[in-house]
């Protein structure tokens, strides 16, 4: 038996209720939603790094904007720098790159980018 993939972990964390909600958004059944979630998670995790390494300025700019050091004094507010570098920073990166990822998946799947963006919004808390 193979080890569960990150996509499997995300699907398990989503649960049936969220998967049904995503299926409704996409106008498909839960199997279709499961496939779209797996593609989206793969795009957010794997393709993101490839695009950043390649010459995708939109993704690179999004990562750069989120990775900029905080203004002086900001690190003392709730959670400090450790919080920024933890879930807060990752949520920011995912939010910033969601548009280019949604556009890429839209071209690949034919699902409207706005719908994929909504799915990504639902996935961000699970991904973190």
Q: How big is the CA angle at 66 (ends 61 and 67), to the nearest 5 degrees?
A: 95
* Residue 91 C-alpha from the chain's centroid: 8
Pick from 34-38, 81-85, 119-123: least confident: 81-85
Domain that holds residue 33: 6-127
**Model's pTM, two decimal places?**
0.64
CB-based contacts of 24, cutoff 8 Å, min separation 6: none
* Mean pLDDT score across all residues of the chain: 75
69 occurs within a structural domain: yes
Whether residue 121 has pLDDT greater than 50: yes
1 occurs within a structural domain: no
97 occurs within a structural domain: yes
101 occurs within a structural domain: yes
pLDDT tens digits, one per residue of 59-92? 556 656 655 544 444 443 444 444 444 566 677 7
* Residue 114 C-alpha from the chain's centroid: 14
The tally of domains found in the chain comes to 1
**Three-state secondary structure string covering 52-78:** HHCCCHHHHHHHHHHHCCCCCCHHHCC
78 occurs within a structural domain: yes
């Amino acid at each position: 038996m193979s080890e569960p993939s990150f996509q499997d972990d995300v699907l398990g964390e989503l649960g049936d209720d969220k998967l049904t909600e995503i299926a409704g958004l996409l106008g498909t059944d839960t199997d279709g939603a499961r496939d779209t979630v797996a593609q989206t998670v793969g795009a957010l995790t794997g393709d993101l790094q490839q695009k950043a390494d390649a010459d995708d300025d939109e993704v690179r700019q999004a990562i750069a904007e989120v990775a900029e050091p905080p203004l002086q004094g900001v690190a003392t507010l709730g959670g400090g720098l450790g919080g920024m570098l933890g879930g807060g920073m990752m949520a920011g990166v995912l939010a910033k790159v969601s548009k280019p990822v949604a556009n890429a998946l839209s071209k690949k799947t034919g699902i409207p980018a706005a719908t994929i963006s909504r799915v990504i919004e639902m996935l961000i808390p699970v991904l973190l």
